Structure 1
Amino acid sequence: MQKRLHLISFDIPYPPSYGGVIDVFYKIKALKALDIDVILHCFQYSQPQQPKLLEYCKEVFYYERNSFFKSMLSNEIPFIVKSRGNDLLISNLKKDTAPIVFDGLHTTHVLNLADFKDRALFLRAHNVEHRFYKGLAKSESNIFKRNFFKQEAKKLKKYEKIISQMDAVFTISPYEQAYFLKKYGKKCTYVPAFHDAEKHTRKFTKSKRSVLYHGNILVSENVKAALFLIDVYKKSKFDLTIASSYINKEILKEIEKYSNINFYHIKEQNELYRLFEESHINALPTFQKTGIKLKLLNTLHQGKFVIANNDMIEDTGLKMLCEKANTKKEFLQKTTELMAQDFSEKMLEERQKVLVDLSPETGAQKMVDIIFK
Structure 2
Amino acid sequence: MAERHLHIITHDVPWPADFGGVMDLFYKIKTLHQNDVKIYLHCFVNERPEQEELNKYCAKVYYYQRKKSWTRFSFSVPFIVSTRKSAELLKNLQQDNYPVLIEGVHCSWHLYTGQLRNRIVLLRLHNAEFEYYHQLALHESSPLKKMYYQHESSLLKKYENKLAGKVNINAVSAQDVALYQQNFKATHIDHLPVFLPYEKAAGREGNGCFCLYHANLAINENEAAAIWLLQEVFQDLKIPFVIAGKNPSQKLEFMAHQHAHTCLVSNPSDKELHDMIAKAQINILPSFNNTGVKLKLLNALYNGRHCLVNQAGVTGSGLDNLCTIAETAEEFKNTIKKLYTKPYALEENENRQQVLKRLYNNQKNADKLIEIFWSQQ
Q: TM-score, normalised by structure 2?
A: 0.86
Report what 1:322 is aligned to: 323
2:9 and 2:289 mapped to 1: Cα distance?
Answer: 26
Q: Does the 8 Å CA contact 1:130/1:152 hold for their aligned counterparts?
A: yes
Deviations 1:94-137 (A, max 9, x none): 44332221111111124467833243221001222212222222
Superposed counterparts of 1:94-105, under 5 Å: 94-105=94-105
For residue 372 of structure 1, what is the aligned residue in structure 2? 374
Structure 1's 314 and 120: CA in aligned 2 closer, same or farther, altered over 3 A? closer
Quote the Cα distance in structure 1 between the aligned partners of 2:249 and 2:13. 18
Match for residue 130 of structure 1? 130
1:144 paired with 2:144, answer yes
Equivalent in the alignment of 1:108? 108
What one-letter code is carried by the residue in structure 2 that aligns with 1:263? V
Against the structure 1 CA distance between its residues 95 and 223, is the aligned structure 2 distance closer, same or farther, given a 3 Å change threshold?
A: farther
TM superposition shift of 1:362: 1.6
1:10-159 paired onto structure 2 within 5 Å: 10-72=11-73, 74-111=74-111, 115-159=115-159
Q: Secondary structure at the match of 1:153?
A: helix
Structure 1 residues 275, 37: CA separation in 2 closer, same or farther (over 3 Å shift)? farther
1:239 maps to amino acid: P
Question: Could you tell me whether the CA contact under 8 Å between 1:191 and 1:363 is conserved in 2?
Answer: yes
Identity between Structure 1 and Structure 2 (%): 32
Output aligned runs, 1:170-249, within 5 Å.
170-181=170-181, 183=184, 185-199=186-200, 202-205=203-206, 208-231=208-231, 232-233=233-234, 236-246=237-247, 248-249=249-250
> 1:327-361 CA deviation, whole Å, 9 max, x = no partner?
33332332232221222211110122222320222
Contact kept, 8 Å, 1:169 with 1:188, in 2: the verdict is yes
Q: 1:141-192 deviations in whole A, cap 9, x for unaligned?
A: 22212211111111111112134332x2112222222343464654222212
Distance 1:246 1:106, change over 3 A: farther
Equivalent residue number for residue 4 of structure 1: 5
Give the SS at the match of 1:215.
strand
Distance in 1 of aligned mates of 2:83 and 2:250: 24
Query: Aligned pair 1:288/2:289, yes or no?
Result: yes
Question: Normalising by the residue count of structure 1, what TM-score does the alignment of the two structures yield?
Answer: 0.87
Q: Any idea what SS the aligned residue of 1:165 has?
A: coil
Aligned-residue Cα RMSD (Å) equals: 2.8
Tell me how far 1:20 sits from its aligned partner.
Answer: 3.0
Inter-partner Cα distance in structure 1 for 2:129 and 2:365? 22
- 8 Å contact from structure 1 (residues 280, 305) kept in 2: yes
> Any residues of structure 2 matched to 1:352-363 within 5 Å, and which?
352-358=353-359, 359-363=361-365
**Which amino acid is the alignment partner of residue 115 of structure 1?**
Q
SS of residue matched to 2:14: coil
Distance 2:223 2:87 in 1: 34
Q: Distance in 1 between matches of 2:57 and 2:342?
A: 39
Structure 2 partner of 1:305: 306
CA distance in 2, matches of 1:38, 1:248: 39
Residue 64 of structure 1: how far off its partner (Å): 3.0
Q: Which amino acid aligns with 2:364?
A: T
In the alignment, residue 35 of structure 2 is paired with which amino acid? L
Offset from partner CA, 1:60-106 (integer Å, 9 cap, x none): 3333322241221x111001111222344334434433222111111
Residue pair 2:42, 2:63 contacting (<8 A) in 1 also? yes
**Match of residue 267 from structure 2:** 265
CA drift of 1:278 comes to: 2.3
- Seen in structure 2, the aligned counterparts of structure 1 residues 247 and 284 have a Cα distance that, compared at 3 Å, is same
Q: Which runs of 5+ in 2 are unaligned?
A: none
Query: CA offsets, 1:277-312, max 9 Å, x none?
Result: 222221111112225433323322222210101221
Alpha carbons of structure 1 residues 233 and 68: separation in structure 2 relative to 1, 3 Å: farther
Matched letter for residue 85 of structure 1: K
Give the aligned residue type for 2:159: Y
Distance 1:324 1:184, change over 3 A: closer
Q: How many angstroms does 1:248 deviate by?
A: 4.3
Q: Which amino acid aligns with 1:360?
A: N
Helix, strand or coil at the partner of 1:60: strand
**Relative to structure 1, is the Cα distance of residues 110 and 315 closer, same or farther in structure 2, using a 3 angstrom cutoff?**
closer
Aligned residue pair count: 369
SS at match of 1:42: strand
> Which runs of 5 or more structure 1 residues have no equivalent in the other structure?
none
Distance 1:319 1:255 in 2: 29
Offset from partner CA, 1:248-289 (integer Å, 9 cap, x none): 454334435455312241444x44433322222211111122
* Map of 2:336 onto structure 1: 335
Letter in 1 for 2:225: A
SS of 1:209's partner is coil
